[in-house]
Amino acid sequence: MKRVKVLVVGAGVVGLSTAVCVAETLSYCSVTVIAEKFSPDTTGDGAAGILLPKEFPDIPLERQKRWFKESFDHLLAIADSPQASDAGVYLSSGYQIFKDIPSDKKPFWSDFVFGFRYMTDREMKRFPNHKFGQAFTTIKCECLNYLPWLEKRYYVQDVREEVWKESLQQKQHILKFLQHSDQQVMIQNVLLGRLQRPQTRLSSS
């Protein structure tokens, strides 16, 4: 099988997670990450992500359930591992409260988090302007830890190439990459605007 060159655009949670996943899963790929900013200067560095999905009416519910379960199981394995502290991934318990009673009191993800239940009347008294609440334990991801941890995992992969810390406005870097080989894939995580490039394809030969 010929070597496949993969370019990931963006070094936030999605970009670095994608780069690590490809590098660790597909041994025939070489992975390059290009981004305007890397941790600790990305938008994601200011976020503490709580794993709590919203339902999208135009996506089949079974697919959304599968996405959430796979994400939850993946992060739970990290939270249960010795790397949890370095990765900034851990369990977090809390409430989700509503001013009006939702039409669906038990959301599709309730079977995957821990200890999902409706809040008691006593608990709701702490929130006098709200009528309904849910209590559960899910996973929290501190991006100030998680992004550097992902970068370290990316750097130890033998299949990686390099990280380009260049301005995304310098589109010639991307064009040069795409024209370098006819075995390439570009994974775009941020808006670059209109970009003319050769046809992207995969080959198993």
3-state secondary structure 136-159: EEEEEEEHHHHHHHHHHHHHCCCC
- Domain membership of residue 201 (yes or no) is no
Q: Is residue 72 part of a domain?
A: yes
- Does residue 200 belong to any structural domain of this protein? no
**Mean pLDDT computed over 164-187:** 52
Classified as helix, coil or strand, 108 is helix
pTM higher than the cut 0.85: no
HSE, side-chain direction, 13 A CA sphere, residue 122: 0
Domain of 87, in residue numbers: 4-188
Q: Residue 199: inside a domain, yes or no? A: no
Asked if residue 132 belongs to a domain, the reply is yes
For residue 197, being part of any structural domain is answered with no
Q: What is the separation, in whole angstroms, between the first and last Cα of the chain?
A: 5
- pLDDT above 50: residue 164: no
Look up the CATH number of the domain holding residue 11.
3.40.50
| Count of domains observed in the chain | 1
pLDDT tens digit sequence for 93-107: 999 999 999 998 999
pLDDT digits (tens, 9 = 90+) for 29-88: 778 887 777 788 777 777 768 888 888 889 999 999 999 999 999 999 999 999 999 999
> Is residue 203 a part of any domain in this protein?
no
- Residue 60: asked if its preceding bond is cis (omega within 30°), the reply is no
What was the pLDDT predicted at 187? 54
